[in-house]
């Protein structure tokens, strides 16, 4: 047997709190940002400190096309969510698919770049400090792109099954926050690795 003291709600102003999903996603993004920061710090710290082996300026080329693809995917995902919010499910599907495609192109491009670096330039993760920090940082980012693509693909599957409705736009907006974060990280990685560090 239990007794509970309850209060009778009087006429109160509306009680509005932030959305759980958004706060949760921002917190996750903060944690991930901290991990990336450490890898970026390591990269910057070790710039120019390799004792041997290929140096960044010898082997790195600006991945312009890849970058354009990835950053555009931020735009397409934004358009997708906006379309869903306006109940344009078909348009949403189009832009969402474009996002996945652009992300996949980015990954493929990274794969090609790595293939070239490993087999043509002889740069691997254990070649020197540059190799270690480069593959770790770019690889960590690529890993997050993969995770993002998996999540986006699951949403795509649900879309094809007809289960995604305009009322889900909030949730997909939260997911898109993750994708924007991945793109933002790429801006930092691109700047540090391909621009400043070369």
Partner 1 sequence: MATETIVLTGVDRGARPIGERLHDWVVTVDHKKLGILYILYALLFLIIGGIEATIIRIQLIVPHNHFVSPQVFNRMFTMHGTTMIFFVVMPMLFGFGTFLIPLMIGARDMAFPRLNAASFWLTAFGGILLYFSFIGGNGLYGAGNAPDVGWFAYAPLTSRAFSVGHSTDFWTLGLLVSGFGSIGTGVNFIATILCMRCPGMTLGKMPLLAWLNLVTGGMVILAISPLTAAQIMLSIDRYLGGHFFDTQAGGSAVLWMHFFWIFGHPEVYILVIPAFAFASEIIPVFSRKPIFGYPVMVAATLCIGFISFSVWAHHMFTVGMSSYGNTFFTMTTMIIAVPTGIKIFNWLGTMWGGKIQFTAPMLFCIGFLFQFLIAGLTGIMLGASPFNWQLSNSYFVVAHFHYVIVGGILFTIFGAFYYWFPKMSGRMYSETLAKWHFWLFFIGFHLTFDFMHIPGILGMPRRIYTYEPGRGWEMWNLIVTVGTIFQIAAILVFVFNLLRSLVKGEPAGNDPWDAWTLEWSASSPPPEYNFATIPTVRSRRPLWDLKHPEDPDWKYE
User: What SS3 state is found at 12?
Assistant: coil
CB nearer to partner 1: give 37 or 86.
37
CB of 117 to partner 1, least distance (A): 15
Q: Report the candidate in 53, 47, 149 with the shortest Cα–Cα distance to residue 100.
A: 149
| CA dist., res. 54 & res. 80, Å (int) | 42
> Helix 129-160 and helix 169-189: axis angle, to 10°?
160
CB nearer to partner 1: give 96 or 181.
181
Residues at the contact surface with partner 1, assessed by CB under 8 A:
1-10, 12, 15, 17-20, 23-24, 27-28, 30-32, 34-35, 37-39, 42, 45-46, 49-51, 124-126, 128-129, 132-133, 136, 140
CB of 178 to partner 1, least distance (A): 13
Q: Is 156 exposed, middle or buried (0-12, 13-18, 19+ CB in 10 A)?
A: middle
CB of 83 to partner 1, least distance (A): 27
């Amino acid at each position: 047997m239990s007794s509970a003291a309850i209060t009778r709600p009087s006429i109160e102003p509306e009680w509005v709190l932030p959305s759980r999903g958004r706060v949760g996603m921002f917190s996750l993004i903060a944690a991930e940002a901290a991990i990336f920061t450490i890898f970026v710090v390591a990269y910057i710290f070790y710039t120019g400190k390799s004792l041997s082996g290929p140096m960044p300026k010898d082997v790195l080329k600006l991945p312009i096309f890849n970058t354009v693809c990835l950053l555009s995917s931020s735009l397409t995902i934004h358009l997708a969510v906006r379309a869903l919010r306006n109940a344009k499910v078909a348009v949403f599907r189009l832009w969402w698919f474009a996002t996945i495609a652009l992300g996949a192109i980015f990954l493929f491009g990274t794969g090609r770049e790595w293939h070239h670096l490993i087999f043509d330039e002889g740069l691997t993760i254990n070649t020197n400090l540059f190799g270690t920090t480069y593959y770790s940082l770019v690889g960590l980012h690529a890993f997050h792109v993969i995770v993002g693509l998996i999540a986006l693909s699951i949403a795509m599957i649900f879309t094809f099954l007809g289960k995604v409705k305009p009322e889900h736009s909030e949730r997909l907006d939260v997911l898109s926050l993750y994708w924007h974060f991945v793109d933002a990280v790429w801006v930092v990685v691109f700047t540090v690795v391909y621009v400043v560090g070369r």
